[in-house]
Copies of this chain bind each other. A is one copy, B any other.
Amino acid sequence: MTKITPVILCGGSGTRLWPRSRAIKPKPFLPLVGDYTLFEESLRRASDRSLFDAPFIVTGGKHLEHVESQLGFAPDAQVIVEPAARNTAAAIALAALRLAPDQVMLVCPSDHYIGRVDAFVEAARAAAELAEGGWLVAFGIAATAPETGFGYIRRGEAIAGGGFKVDRFVEKPDLQRAVAFLAEGAYSWNGGIFAFRAGDFLKELGEHRPDILDAVRGAVQGGTQDGHRFHPHAAAFAQVPSESIDYAVMEKTTRAAMVPADMAWSDIGNWDALHDARPKDELGNCVVGRAELVDCREVLVESDGPRVSVIGLEGVIVVVDGDEVLVTSTAGVQKVGKLGGAVNQ
């Protein structure tokens, strides 16, 4: 098997982990679980150079400083600096056009948490084998709850040698459908992790969205290399239609496959999900920073400085970050992104 080239996407900022995650230092670049940032962990997971080639990182100019200061697990990385945000189809096409057609890409978001790295590597290996057979492969992440915040993948027939054809991709369901998906068992979460040969991806993109492919190709042809950085041509890239890989390619191709991945995955999509991913004491409490908890259960405290004293609460999250203090119930985490502080940062 040829080596796999990780393509790490460092995209938008998000507001759901505000005030810890801010526009100026978003989620991927924070040590949310453990000592390393989510971005660093995404490089670390793919740091076995007998299996993975040097990664490509696709990011925006405003995150470049964070990226380059967190390359300890991949000093050999190439960085593609997007002049503007144009969603995942364009970001992946940028990387694909910088690779040889038969190189296998493993596209990974940089803001997710994966608890079982062994399972990730095993799934990556399986996905790469399918990719070498010409498949466009999605990781099908084992669904453990009726989540309404993710897209789903319905498994089709098995492929000889491993994996499954994709029966269909399903957009974020309502709760009733999510419960039914979980009961049926053929559905897994679409976590945005994909493997394919660069040439296969570009061929499918050219078939279904030639406008995107042509525009990205123009931006790459007019681009400039500067050390490990590649800068696509800004004016050309500004013309690229903004579309996700799911819409542009995966839902349209007849060569979509999936590999099951049961790897303690979380998108750390809100403070409650972060609390879940973290180690806790026997009462379910988790403290980062200085804190004293009295008569508390399932309380998460995170402070960047001030001491936090909490008495008599259950299922509450307290975050202190600079000039902002957030106190929310577990259920209330869904509304964090709508707060004035999060919207107007």
Residues of B within 8 A of A328 (CB): 309-313
Is A318 an interface residue when CB atoms closer than 8 A count as contact? Answer: yes
Stretch at the interface among A173-181, A211-219, A254-262, A333-341: A333-341
Copies in the complex: 2
Q: Which of A4-12, A27-35, A97-105, A319-327 contacts B (4 or more CB under 8 A)?
A: A319-327
Most chain-B CB neighbours within 10 Å: which of A309, A313, A335?
A: A309
In the complex, the answer to whether B341 meets A292 with C-beta atoms within 8 Å is yes
CB under 8 Å from chain B, chain A span 7-31 = 19
Mind listing 27 A-B residue pairs with CB under 8 Å?
A19-B309, A292-B340, A292-B341, A294-B332, A294-B335, A295-B335, A305-B323, A306-B323, A306-B325, A307-B324, A307-B341, A308-B326, A308-B327, A309-B325, A309-B326, A309-B339, A309-B340, A311-B326, A311-B327, A311-B328, A311-B339, A313-B316, A313-B327, A313-B329, A316-B316, A316-B327, A318-B327
Closest to A329 in B: B312
Select which of B309, B324, B332 is within 8 A of A327 by beta carbon. B309
The reply to whether B335 and A310 contact each other, CB–CB distance below 8 Å, is no
Question: A331 near B: Cβ within 8 Å?
Answer: yes
Q: Assess whether A329 is in contact with B311, with CB atoms less than 8 Å apart.
A: yes
Decide if A303 is an interface residue (CB 8 Å cutoff).
Answer: yes
Is A335 within 8 A of B311, CB to CB?
Answer: yes
- Give, as a whole number of angstroms, the nearest-CB distance from A327 to chain B: 5
Nearest chain B CB to A308 CB, angstrom units = 5
CB pair B311–A325 under 8 Å, yes or no, is no
Question: Chain A residues in contact with chain B, CB under 8 A?
Answer: 19, 292, 294-295, 303, 305-313, 316, 318, 320, 322-329, 331-333, 335-336, 338-341
Are the C-beta atoms of A308 and B336 separated by less than 8 Å?
A: no
> Which residues of the partner chain B approach A333 to less than 8 Å between Cβ atoms?
311
Q: How far is the CA of A341 from the CA of B311 in the complex (A)?
A: 13
Min CB gap A220→B, angstroms: 43
Given A19-B309, A306-B323, A307-B323, 7 more pairs with CB closer than 8 A: A292-B339, A292-B340, A294-B335, A306-B325, A309-B328, A311-B326, A311-B333
Residues of B within 8 A of A313 (CB): 316, 327-329, 332
Leading 10 A-B pairs by shortest Cβ distance = A312-B332, A311-B332, A312-B329, A311-B328, A308-B325, A306-B323, A310-B327, A309-B339, A309-B326, A306-B325
